[in-house]
Structure 1
Amino acid sequence: MFQLCPMMIHLSLTVKNCTFSEDVRNLNEDTGIVFVHPDIAEVASMLGITSLTKRTLEKSTVFIPWGQKEPLTTTIANELESYADGFSIPKELLQNADDAKAKRIGFLYDERENKDLQAKLFDKGMAECQGQALWVYNDAMFQQKDFVNILNIGGKTKLMDNDKIGKFGLGFSSVYNITDVPSFISGDTLVVLDPHLNHLGDAVQKNEPGVRVKITKNILTIYKNQFKPFEGIFGCKLDTDDDGNFKFKGTLFRFPLRTYTQATRSKIKSTEYRKREIIELLHKLISGAANLLPFTQNVTELVVYHLDGKSCNPELDQQLLYKVAKSNVGSEDEPFLQTVVARNHLHEVSKQISRIQKIDIKFNFTDKIQLLSTHFKPFSGKQSWIISWDTGKTLFDLEKRLRKNGAVTIGSVAIPVDSQGKILQLSKVPEGFYSVSHLFCFLPLPQQTSLP
């Protein structure tokens, strides 16, 4: 017979050494396993006694973990294959800012190497990420769900948010085109993401590829140089109140440019990002920035700055290169998408909603623009647009199906007009706007149309 363990004696020893199974009749006596009586298997499970399967796996060479899995770096790399770097990066970040109801977004190329900030970091591996960086700022703070959503690959977390324009894009993952270790401050929180697990070292917990840190006076003191690059960038002050609390009213991303060393071992992208590459990216951004604003629902201003590598006072030294801003003419209506969503919540889906809107888009290439590229010349101007919004009168079968995934049907057309309100040909609009018709999904798509 099998050896049965008496449950009433030496319970602590029993829990450690005994095993339960609902059926021990067909087991070989030579297993060397001590079983509790099969009639009390259910009770044994509740007491934490090890099951036969788990006991077998403990020393087994027959059972081997063999589940499907894919490294995070591979997942991100596969996502990036569908998106070129350059214009897609600022476009996705503006989309996220618009969904967060930010009014302003800013980009800054920081050439500082910060070689004096190599200690007092989360780990010595972070020293590699203290050099040149692209900063991106918006004036909206992260909500709790945003901290969760940013961990998801792609824009799928917004599918059921029908007041968001960023449903179907690549999302935050686009930044991995230029960096391996993105970080950001929002409110009282710093987040550092390290998909390779190469840089955070001892700061990593439970093998999670990143950390989320509540910023306090004590944290700012212990890890002083981890935060120092943020000082003075888009108004970020590393100060705390009398209670030792910190709060930044906005969101400030830091994307340290991928170095040659990082590129040689990166499983995400093997492209080094140097000054030449970042200038090319900013050139694409500035060349198309005016096209980003006509249909945005919240963002009305985009700025681009440069910070010299020798700067000791970023707040004073950052140079404005370019600014573009949108304003409504004669009205301050709530965003059209917000109006439609509100009507939907009131079950007024069948009612047609229309709006005619006039906007001015003003742009300014400052005299510092040639620090970036001699292609640009300092000048400023304005272009007015008439925009027609409409939800249509008829629900199509496709729309009915897509509504289940949070889709909202909206059509819109933007037409350039002169100062007298007369329609202009696109070929007559200033540099920075498309000279031929393009399709948009709130933000521009790389697809021309045959519309006039």
Structure 2
Amino acid sequence: MYDPVGRRTASGARSKDTTVPRVQYPSAQGRRFPWVTVRHECIGPRSYRVSPVTSVQDVKQLIYEETNLPVKEQRLLHNGRILDDSIRIGTLAPAGSSHVYVTLEGRGLKGGGRFGQTTPPLVEFLKDILRRYPEGGQILKELIQNAEDAGATEVKFMYDETEYGVESLWSPDMAQHQGAAMYVYNNAVFTVEDWNGIQEIARSRKRDDPLKVGRFGIGFNSVYHITDVPSIFSGNQIAMLDPHQTLFGVNESGQCWNLSTDRKEITELADQFAPYMGMFGISEKTIKDGSFPGTLFRFPLRMKPSQLSGNIYNKEKVLELFESFKADASTVLLFLKSVQKISLHVREPDGTERMLFQATATENPDDKLERPNALKTLGQAIDNYSNGVLSSTITCVTYQVNIETQDETAKETNRTTWLVCNGVGGRGMCAELDSLADNLKFMPIIGIALPLTANNQEDKGAAFGFSGRAFCFLPLPPGEESETGLPVHVSWLLWPHRQPQEHQVARSGPVERSSSLVE
């Protein structure tokens, strides 16, 4: 729906008022804001919510802004009749309906005139991402990767069944997103780069930092398997994304609010922001203070098929996500440098919260500085390589880490001690590897993890009969493709999407680089 007051969008720009002139009509007529859908065989249907007094000329201008087809080359037809530019859309709506359908003809779209390539609609772009990114626990891993990149030490997932009020919302269309949702919290705060990066889905701002686990950025959009309207509350801002571009205005894919400058509106739209209150320390005081010292994602579950996805999510499917994640929980923290704790929670309709599962990484109690010091040394070696400092040696650090998983449902606690070794190649040791690393923004870093003990057993050395898997900092999806047959887990930067290689389009660069690392 268009924005009647020109409020800010997630990009910081003011949304456009497409209704001129602005005339108030009684809402009882049901035609205050009619929809006009423009149909064309090449560009597909495009819908706009406008005023009854919006003219055909105004609609042509909207089409021009989306397609670059000049207004003078457009013809709009209604029931086979060419529409004059002065006709008002409201006069075309059938009795009892607020939807107008017109057909577009234009020289640049049919047989002559303007010609050129265009980018696909945002929804189509995201649908292609969803086809390439798997469902299941991998979605949770993508969000853990983003938290790792931000330097967070803790990540919490929560399923919330609460149904929130629908009286004071941005628009009535937001009511469908006030129900059950999955939340993801981490204790780091979005930077300006993060806010910009999450809006630029076609390119990731993380590519320039070879140590960023989720540096391909595009993986965040796997959350659209679950939701149509993800939102982010971090620092001094709340933002909502709308890839269908129907909630916040024509061609507007999001909206953001600043806790200080937009406090009055946040307070007035109490139901709209109620889903955040009481979650992970957020309260009315947070709004008054103007800042939240963490990041909270909210993903309202998709309750009916949308243009973006036909996936329907409910409590059962969210808990399946949790179970899928639990299968890898004992190894998820192995090669991460920042995140030390991950937990799964549910919030019942009455507001009762309970923890289902928790995984924690801790240092060797005999030497709590061993792991932090090792990671500091590793970080320095990575910085040297990135800055072009020549070295004829491989920097290798080794430390022990204890992974404890606590399953509250099964009333089980398991603890495994691992020996982890990470190595970084020296710049200048292999010209071919340096060239590949620079061109692909990769880093010659490799890690291995060997299980020593399990379930608090006495340390008797390496576990017998253990079969390892491939990691790209986090475990790749389970299956034969990620099984290495080695007696250790192995982590290294493989290819741009953390999926089995057979699912990728052939990319000689990453494959060459993986071979160079192994050699």
TM bin (shorter chain): 0.7 to 0.9
| Counterpart pick for 1:226 among 253, 272, 276 | 272
- SS in structure 2 of the partner of residue 417 of structure 1: strand
CA contact (8 A) 1:417 1:424 kept: yes
Larger displacement relative to structure 2 (187-196 or 321-330): 321-330
CA contact (8 A) 2:378 2:397 kept: no
Q: CA offsets, 1:420-445, max 9 Å, x none?
A: 44334366xxxxxxx63101111111
Question: Which whole-Å CA distance do the structure 1 matches of 2:272 and 2:163 have between them?
Answer: 13
Equivalent pairs: percent with the same residue? 30
* Correspondence for 1:59: 72
Query: How has the CA–CA distance of structure 1 residues 396 and 247 changed in structure 2, closer, same or farther, with 3 Å as cutoff?
Result: same
Letter in 2 for 1:112: T
The 5 Å alignment of 1:88-127 reads 88-114=138-164, 117-127=165-175
* Correspondence for 2:210: 162
| Counterpart pick for 2:137 among 78, 87, 112 | 87
Structure 1 or 2, whichever has the larger Rg, is 1
- SS in structure 2 of the partner of residue 383 of structure 1: strand
* Correspondence for 2:228: 180
CA contact (8 A) 1:399 1:407 kept: no
Question: Which whole-Å CA distance do the structure 2 matches of 1:362 and 1:140 have between them?
Answer: 23
TM-score normalised to structure 1 length: 0.75
* Correspondence for 2:420: 387
Deviation at 1:237, TM superposition (A): 1.7
Structure 1: stretches of 5+ with no match in the other structure:
1-55, 312-316, 370-376, 428-434
Verify: 1:445 aligned to 2:476, yes or no.
yes
Question: Which whole-Å CA distance do the structure 1 matches of 2:133 and 2:378 have between them?
Answer: 27
* Correspondence for 2:309: 269
* Correspondence for 2:399: 357
- SS in structure 1 of the partner of residue 476 of structure 2: strand
CA contact (8 A) 1:155 1:167 kept: no
The 5 Å alignment of 1:52-451 reads 59-60=72-73, 66-67=115-116, 68-114=118-164, 117-153=165-201, 156-168=204-216, 170-198=218-246, 200=247, 203-204=248-249, 207-216=251-260, 217-240=263-286, 244-260=288-304, 263=305, 266-311=306-351, 317-329=352-364, 330=367, 331=370, 332-333=372-373, 334=375, 338-345=379-386, 347-350=388-391, 351-366=393-408, 369=409, 377-392=410-425, 394-395=429-430, 397-418=432-453, 420-425=458-463, 436-446=467-477, 447-451=482-486
Structure 2: stretches of 5+ with no match in the other structure:
1-68, 75-106, 488-519
Q: CA offsets, 1:93-118, max 9 Å, x none?
A: 0000000000000000111122xx10
Deviation at 1:404, TM superposition (A): 3.3
Q: CA offsets, 1:353-386, max 9 Å, x none?
A: 11011111112112xx2xxxxxxx1111211100
Question: Which whole-Å CA distance do the structure 2 matches of 1:150 and 1:386 have between them?
Answer: 36
CA contact (8 A) 1:387 1:414 kept: yes
Deviation at 1:223, TM superposition (A): 1.0
Deviation at 1:151, TM superposition (A): 1.6
Larger displacement relative to structure 2 (281-290 or 128-137): 281-290
Question: Which whole-Å CA distance do the structure 1 matches of 2:435 and 2:153 have between them?
Answer: 32
Larger displacement relative to structure 2 (275-284 or 59-68): 59-68
Q: How many aligned residue pairs are there? A: 364
Question: Which whole-Å CA distance do the structure 2 matches of 1:90 and 1:335 have between them?
Answer: 27
Letter in 2 for 1:267: Q
Q: CA offsets, 1:288-308, max 9 Å, x none?
A: 222210001110100111101
Question: Which whole-Å CA distance do the structure 2 matches of 1:191 and 1:254 have between them?
Answer: 10
Question: Which whole-Å CA distance do the structure 2 matches of 1:338 and 1:183 have between them?
Answer: 33
Query: How has the CA–CA distance of structure 1 residues 341 and 154 changed in structure 2, closer, same or farther, with 3 Å as cutoff?
Result: farther
Deviation at 1:157, TM superposition (A): 2.5
* Correspondence for 1:10: none
Deviation at 1:342, TM superposition (A): 2.2
Question: Which whole-Å CA distance do the structure 2 matches of 1:86 and 1:405 have between them?
Answer: 28
Query: How has the CA–CA distance of structure 1 residues 421 and 392 changed in structure 2, closer, same or farther, with 3 Å as cutoff?
Result: farther
Query: How has the CA–CA distance of structure 1 residues 337 and 156 changed in structure 2, closer, same or farther, with 3 Å as cutoff?
Result: farther
Aligned-residue CA RMSD (Å): 2.3
TM-score normalised to structure 2 length: 0.66
CA contact (8 A) 2:328 2:475 kept: no
Query: How has the CA–CA distance of structure 1 residues 155 and 232 changed in structure 2, closer, same or farther, with 3 Å as cutoff?
Result: farther
Deviation at 1:168, TM superposition (A): 4.1
Letter in 2 for 1:138: N
CA contact (8 A) 1:426 1:436 kept: no
Deviation at 1:72, TM superposition (A): 0.6
Q: CA offsets, 1:66-104, max 9 Å, x none?
A: 542301111111011112211111110000000000000
Question: Which whole-Å CA distance do the structure 1 matches of 2:210 and 2:171 have between them?
Answer: 41
Query: How has the CA–CA distance of structure 1 residues 65 and 148 changed in structure 2, closer, same or farther, with 3 Å as cutoff?
Result: farther
- SS in structure 1 of the partner of residue 381 of structure 2: helix
Deviation at 1:346, TM superposition (A): 5.1
Larger displacement relative to structure 2 (246-255 or 320-329): 320-329
Question: Which whole-Å CA distance do the structure 2 matches of 1:88 and 1:240 have between them?
Answer: 32
Larger displacement relative to structure 2 (411-420 or 105-114): 411-420
Question: Which whole-Å CA distance do the structure 2 matches of 1:307 and 1:285 have between them?
Answer: 19
- SS in structure 1 of the partner of residue 449 of structure 2: strand
Letter in 2 for 1:119: E
CA contact (8 A) 2:378 2:423 kept: no
Question: Which whole-Å CA distance do the structure 2 matches of 1:360 and 1:147 have between them?
Answer: 34
Deviation at 1:135, TM superposition (A): 0.3
Deviation at 1:390, TM superposition (A): 1.2
Letter in 2 for 1:130: Q
CA contact (8 A) 1:107 1:304 kept: yes
- SS in structure 1 of the partner of residue 399 of structure 2: strand
